[in-house]
Structure 1
Amino acid sequence: MSFTGDGSKLCHVLAMPFPGRGHINPMLSFCKILASRRPEKILITFVITEEWLGYIGADPKPEAIRFATIPNVIPSEREKVADFPGFYEAVMTKMEEPFERLLDQLVSPVDVIVGDVELRWPVAVANRRNILVAAFWTMSASFYSMLHHLDVFSRDQHLTIGTLGEKTENISGISSLHMEGLLTVVHKTDDRAMQLALECIFSASKANYLLFTTVQELEAETIDTLKDIFSFPVYPIGPAIPYLELENTDHSHDYIKWLDSQPDGSVLYISLGSFLSVSNAQMDEIVEALNNTGIRYLYVARGEASRLKDKCGDKGMVIPWCDQLRVLSHSSIGGFWSHCGWNSTLETVFAGVPILTFPLFLDQFPNSSQIVDEWRNGWKIEVSSMSENEVILVKEDIEVLVEKFMDLESQEGKEIRDRARELKTMCHKAIGKGGSSYKNIDAFFNDISFQGH
């Protein structure tokens, strides 16, 4: 426990995210929320690779948060798509030693390590050093529960991912709806990467706390079940998204000015992820279909934005990047065509926007099922064919689907929008004073403040 200038105790949190934007962003959002609640009583050291410092080092952050780096001992962020299983294994095996060296060099002793579950080793490091550790999960609580029950089953049956086969039908604790999504994930994921993921889940069971970026009310049944399973506190603290930054009303971006000029609820926002997305041919098909419908759209297309700009009609805008939460919160947005990454899903729920789900890999499939079947704030795009590298959806089907989805007057359209607004209210209530996430963040801070010395 460190001390402030007036001699009061300062709780030192060491945050160790998995090196990827979908993990760094929610952990940094959580740290900012934590710092905003107790700015005079907390110090947060946020650990990233030197490469990631180059990406986010200049971004604004509270005074209570400081960055610390470890060397670039893993493949570059730009290379990981080519061999993700290899990247994943490098993260598991090469980052632990420099992380421990960093721990030894810190002047202020660490009271708690908040480590991404998918790193596996932070829990072991903390336990060896007798430091409190919170396992931080950046996907849905439902997906965590699926993997936990799959891990328990495979250990009990002495099975590996490669030998599970049809035996998965016998796994207790997973509903038939969730099992379908889980099997899709297992079949589409490299066996070694899947095995490593289960090892991470097992490691998290040895933590002192389990933090979820979700909201209690969104996944109440699953979270209550997990609280019964584990003997340590389970805290849903979400949504771990940058909602604090919405207070900064930035209208300088061209895309915000463009949205300002569009009618309320008229724009379809499209973003299919920053990691694995669709093929160039599929992007062309989407843009052509949207142009044919005359529906207004804002499309984030990463590296293909400059090429697709030439194909845009007068009602569309294609950009390489945007402040997604600010866009989703804009009054002109009437729907989101999404790959269903968990962070995007939480941002969409927070903004109260209906979702057109287009899952591509990993947890996106069960996330899509939650949206469509459980929360009922979206529709799923059924694909006509699928291969290893691309999902094919022809423009004629896209046109019919998008016109139906963006029809604000249809009964179905009204129902999903009403439901989206209900979930938004639930989400905002959770982060407000006295709400479930608000209280869980307070409880976590009190725990680590009292026990971390």
Structure 2
Amino acid sequence: MAESDNLKPHAIFIPYPLQGHVIPSVELAIKLASRGFKITFVNTQSIHHHTSKAQPKTGGNLFAAAREAGQDIDYTTVSDGLPVEFDRSLNHDQFMASLLHVFSAHVDELVGKLVKSSVNTAPVTCLIADTFFVWPGKVAKKYDLLYVSFWTEPALVYSLYFHVDLLRKNGHFACHDVREDDINYIPGVKSIDPSDMMSYLQDANVTTVCHQIIFNAFKDVRESHYVLCNTVEEIESETITPLHAKIPFYAIGPLFPNRFNKSIVATSLWSESDRSQWLNTKPQGSVLYVSFGSYAHVSKRDLIEIADGLELSKVNFVWVLRPDIVSSEDTDPLPSGFKERTSDRGIIIQWCCQKSVLAHPAIGGFLTHCGWNSTLESIWCSVPLLCFPLLTDQFTNRKLIVDDWKVGTNLCDWKVVKKEVVSNKINHLMDVKSGDEFRKAVAKVRKTMENALKPNGSSEQNIDTFIKDLKAGMRK
């Protein structure tokens, strides 16, 4: 490492190539650049292709506006090993296999070139990479860089993955007779039902490519010098405290743009519809926002029950319905006549700027898959949640939302989705009287988040401490 105390940190930043990971990565890159970092941000060619296609005005450099605003951010791309137009959502396992076996070689080559080309200008000092990658520790060590692992999900999810060996040892994971009683031995984690663990830790088959990635990633992360986490210390303090004893762990969230719904960097993989004029015509808190995120799929049966329940509820709604929400082959999975029967009180769009919709005064609830970005954004906008987790961390996020923070409720309580229940749950959340408990709870957690981002708040102090620690590491 360089010896100069005044050496500007230069980080190569590589986000995981899924929209839910890219969004907070972009905001972290901007935040670090505003604190004196030089950043070289590396998207996959596929992410770049789809983002540029969705928002053609961005041109070749997605960070051009950030550079114009004075941020020292370079931008480049690397292949993930598959053609840019390849349907990664439909071919999930093939995509994950490419990330596991091919992508690392492309990254290694790129990092080597960037390190070599920066020697006489702004030497690369650290590698910031998503925790889910399996290679950062090895690549950082090869090029003598400090390794900063960026965790885009809550600390609770990190801790469960980090302690997967304890789950194996105690018979709650990857054994013939998996225990079904509560898990009460993970440091910093209150007693947790196995059904509240991430979907990958509930699977009977643990030989999939996704499991290989998780196991290898959480071996690799032990080689990291620092872990940055997109959460807030006060809302997960019990989980975070024991992690500090194992690894330098900094809660620096929520990672939002300075103007909440106006990022200066394009991150959407689809063209966004603006429905603010329609929302302006609706009473305050009267509209349910429905979205199941950018990647996970919903079964056709469940989607039809949810649509029928939404129709029965009589509430106003904005429904973001990706063309591939069921599958790429079924582009119109809604019940026959649904759009026509609900056209007076609902709109269906393929994609939108979610932050702008959630921030609109007309929105009173969010029917969500419980993705972590969606969770943080909804709480920030004081919008209570109706939870329908589908995949990975979403089941654990649901636990935090419903059981711990009480800022939302379950859509179906683990039973089969039925339209009558969906209708009742929607009305319970949206009703002025019955939904008040959720609105009060979400306002309280929102205030905690807001305080964390104040100049003396925990997240701001934690990122300052991280930068101080990183610079000390650079001098060693």
TM-score, length-scaled by structure 1? 0.87
Equivalent in the alignment of 2:185: 172
Residue 211 of structure 1 and its aligned partner are, at CA, apart by 0.9
Equivalent in the alignment of 2:267: none
Deviations 1:152-182 (A, max 9, x none): 554x68x996436426867721543253312
Residue 284 of structure 1 and its aligned partner are, at CA, apart by 3.9
Equivalent in the alignment of 1:11: 9
Equivalent in the alignment of 2:161: 147
Pair 122,310 (structure 1): closer, same or farther in 2 beyond 3 Å: farther
Alignment check: 8 A CA contact 2:39 2:74 kept: yes
Residue 10 of structure 1 and its aligned partner are, at CA, apart by 2.8
Pair 328,44 (structure 1): closer, same or farther in 2 beyond 3 Å: same
Residue 184 of structure 1 and its aligned partner are, at CA, apart by 5.1
Equivalent in the alignment of 1:212: 229
Equivalent in the alignment of 1:390: none
Higher mean displacement: 306-315 or 399-408: 306-315
- Whole-Å Cα distance in 1 between the matches of residues 93 and 161 of structure 2? 18
- Whole-Å Cα distance in 2 between the matches of residues 141 and 274 of structure 1? 22
Higher mean displacement: 195-204 or 20-29: 195-204
- Whole-Å Cα distance in 1 between the matches of residues 140 and 458 of structure 2? 28
The amino acid across from 2:28 in the alignment is F
Pair 384,56 (structure 1): closer, same or farther in 2 beyond 3 Å: closer
Residue 380 of structure 1 and its aligned partner are, at CA, apart by 0.8
Alignment check: 8 A CA contact 1:151 1:198 kept: no
Alignment check: 8 A CA contact 2:454 2:460 kept: yes
Alignment check: 8 A CA contact 1:137 1:210 kept: yes
Residue 130 of structure 1 and its aligned partner are, at CA, apart by 1.9
Pair 384,364 (structure 1): closer, same or farther in 2 beyond 3 Å: closer
Residue 367 of structure 1 and its aligned partner are, at CA, apart by 0.9
- Whole-Å Cα distance in 2 between the matches of residues 160 and 188 of structure 1? 11
Alignment check: 8 A CA contact 1:342 1:364 kept: yes
* Residue 202 (structure 2) aligned to one of 187, 200, 217: 187
The amino acid across from 1:418 in the alignment is K
Alignment check: 8 A CA contact 2:309 2:420 kept: yes
In the alignment, does 2:175 pair up with 1:163? Answer: yes
Alignment check: 8 A CA contact 1:15 1:113 kept: yes
SS at match of 1:269: strand
In the alignment, does 2:136 pair up with 1:122? Answer: yes
Residue 350 of structure 1 and its aligned partner are, at CA, apart by 1.5
The amino acid across from 2:43 in the alignment is I
Alignment check: 8 A CA contact 2:172 2:180 kept: no
**Match runs of 1:54-133 below 5 Å:** 54-57=49-52, 58=58, 59=62, 61-63=65-67, 64-74=72-82, 78-106=86-114, 107-108=117-118, 109-133=123-147
- Whole-Å Cα distance in 2 between the matches of residues 341 and 243 of structure 1? 21
Residue 395 of structure 1 and its aligned partner are, at CA, apart by 2.0
Alignment check: 8 A CA contact 2:195 2:202 kept: no
The amino acid across from 2:303 in the alignment is M
Alignment check: 8 A CA contact 1:265 1:331 kept: yes
Number of equivalences: 432
- Whole-Å Cα distance in 1 between the matches of residues 144 and 213 of structure 2? 25
Alignment check: 8 A CA contact 1:327 1:333 kept: yes
* Residue 51 (structure 1) aligned to one of 36, 39, 46: 46
In the alignment, does 2:214 pair up with 1:197? Answer: yes
Alignment check: 8 A CA contact 1:185 1:365 kept: no
SS at match of 2:178: helix
- Whole-Å Cα distance in 2 between the matches of residues 217 and 164 of structure 1? 38
- Whole-Å Cα distance in 1 between the matches of residues 85 and 215 of structure 2? 23
Deviations 1:82-121 (A, max 9, x none): 3423322321221122112112222222111111111110
Residue 65 of structure 1 and its aligned partner are, at CA, apart by 2.0
Residue 128 of structure 1 and its aligned partner are, at CA, apart by 2.6
Alignment check: 8 A CA contact 1:178 1:366 kept: no
Equivalent in the alignment of 2:429: 405
Higher mean displacement: 85-94 or 341-350: 85-94
The amino acid across from 1:359 in the alignment is P
- Whole-Å Cα distance in 2 between the matches of residues 42 and 320 of structure 1? 36
Deviations 1:354-407 (A, max 9, x none): 111111121111111111110011101226755xxxxxx232222222111111
Equivalent in the alignment of 2:292: 272
| Gapped regions of structure 1 (runs ≥ 5) | 3-7, 387-392
- Whole-Å Cα distance in 1 between the matches of residues 463 and 419 of structure 2? 46
Pair 122,62 (structure 1): closer, same or farther in 2 beyond 3 Å: same
* Residue 367 (structure 1) aligned to one of 392, 397, 407: 397
Structure with a larger share of its residues in helix: 1
- Whole-Å Cα distance in 2 between the matches of residues 297 and 259 of structure 1? 9
Residue 293 of structure 1 and its aligned partner are, at CA, apart by 2.7
The amino acid across from 1:369 in the alignment is K
Equivalent in the alignment of 1:325: 355
**Match runs of 1:252-401 below 5 Å:** 254-303=274-323, 307=332, 309-310=339-340, 312-382=342-412, 393-401=417-425
Pair 268,441 (structure 1): closer, same or farther in 2 beyond 3 Å: same
- Whole-Å Cα distance in 2 between the matches of residues 181 and 210 of structure 1? 24
Residue 75 of structure 1 and its aligned partner are, at CA, apart by 6.5
Equivalent in the alignment of 1:28: 26
Equivalent in the alignment of 1:437: 459
Equivalent in the alignment of 1:241: 256
Higher mean displacement: 167-176 or 99-108: 167-176
Alignment check: 8 A CA contact 2:406 2:438 kept: yes
Alignment check: 8 A CA contact 1:349 1:424 kept: yes
Pair 186,327 (structure 1): closer, same or farther in 2 beyond 3 Å: same
- Whole-Å Cα distance in 1 between the matches of residues 380 and 85 of structure 2? 29
* Residue 417 (structure 1) aligned to one of 439, 444, 447: 439
- Whole-Å Cα distance in 2 between the matches of residues 293 and 161 of structure 1? 40
SS at match of 2:8: strand
